[in-house]
């Protein structure tokens, strides 16, 4: 079973999350602050991180920033404040999902499963296996979970990969934000249009050093993959 790392300075939250996940068969490891969580994640063997934002030693946003510099490890943010700014900043840094406290343990388990399914589906789906997509200088390989631009590797999170893959499947075709939600998320978790905008900004920022923007904005409608 997947190993989930829970990083939260609240012992009660750690206990609740651990119980909920282990009850569903997941392997759970715990960290009481950001520094400890980062050290454990960097050792490897973790499939997903549940990361609190407000913590001593090192906050969750800094942990995410450092993890994203090296690997697209799936991350679900938790925040006691639940403010929109927390969600947007967390997703800007590369988080795959966000859940405000207090939360339902059942909903958290559902979101963990959804994020893991999105990641595993890149290799498991027969229609994707070996079917690389190439549009202009961009190549997306679902089997390897790799994206390159002019041969340069671009590191995307699971959700960013899903958004770009949905667009590249039909280059030039305008897709609404809801279509992109359906393509990037297995289940509808009431993802807002602004959340999709955040993921698109993240993708563009990662492509910026290559000099190529793979996505065009169609104002009032949505987005489309830029044709050659």
User: Alpha-carbon distance 183 to 178, whole Å?
Assistant: 9
* 89-112 confidence digits (pLDDT tens): 667 777 788 888 888 999 999 989
Location of each CATH 3.40.50.2300 domain in the chain: 3-123
Does the structure show a pLDDT above 70 at 15? Answer: yes
Does the structure show a pLDDT above 60 at 188? Answer: no
Location of each CATH 1.10.10.10 domain in the chain: 126-225
Does the structure show a pLDDT above 80 at 78? Answer: yes
Across residues 214-220, what is the average pLDDT? Answer: 92
The pLDDT value recorded for residue 180 is 84
The pLDDT value recorded for residue 65 is 86
Between 126 and 150, residue with greater pLDDT: 150
Q: Which one, of 93, 108, 11, lies nearest residue 50 by Cα? A: 108
CATH superfamily of 3-123: Response regulator (3.40.50.2300)
Q: Domain 126-225 classified CATH 3.40.630.30?
A: no
């Amino acid at each position: 079973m997947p190993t989930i790392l829970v990083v939260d300075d609240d012992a009660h939250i750690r206990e609740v999350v651990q119980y909920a996940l282990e009850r569903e068969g997941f392997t759970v490891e715990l960290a009481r602050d950001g520094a400890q969580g980062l050290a454990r994640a960097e050792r490897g063997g973790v499939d997903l991180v549940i990361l609190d934002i407000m913590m001593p030693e090192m906050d969750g946003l800094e942990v995410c920033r450092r993890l994203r510099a090296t690997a697209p490890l799936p991350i679900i943010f938790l925040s006691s404040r639940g403010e929109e700014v927390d969600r947007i900043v967390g997703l800007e840094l590369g988080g795959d999902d966000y859940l405000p406290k207090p939360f339902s343990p059942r909903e958290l388990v559902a979101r963990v499963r959804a994020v893991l399914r999105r990641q595993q589906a890149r290799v498991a789906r027969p229609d994707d296996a070996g079917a690389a997509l190439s549009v202009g200088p961009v190549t997306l390989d679902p089997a390897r979970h790799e994206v390159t631009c002019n041969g340069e590797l671009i590191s995307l999170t699971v959700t960013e990969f899903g958004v770009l893959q949905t667009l590249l499947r039909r280059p030039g075709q305008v897709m609404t934000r809801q279509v992109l939600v359906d393509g990037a998320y297995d289940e509808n978790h009431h993802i807002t249009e602004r959340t999709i905008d955040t993921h698109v900004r993240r993708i563009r920022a990662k492509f910026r050093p290559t000099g190529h923007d793979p996505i065009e904005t169609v104002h009032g409608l949505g987005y489309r993959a830029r044709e050659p």
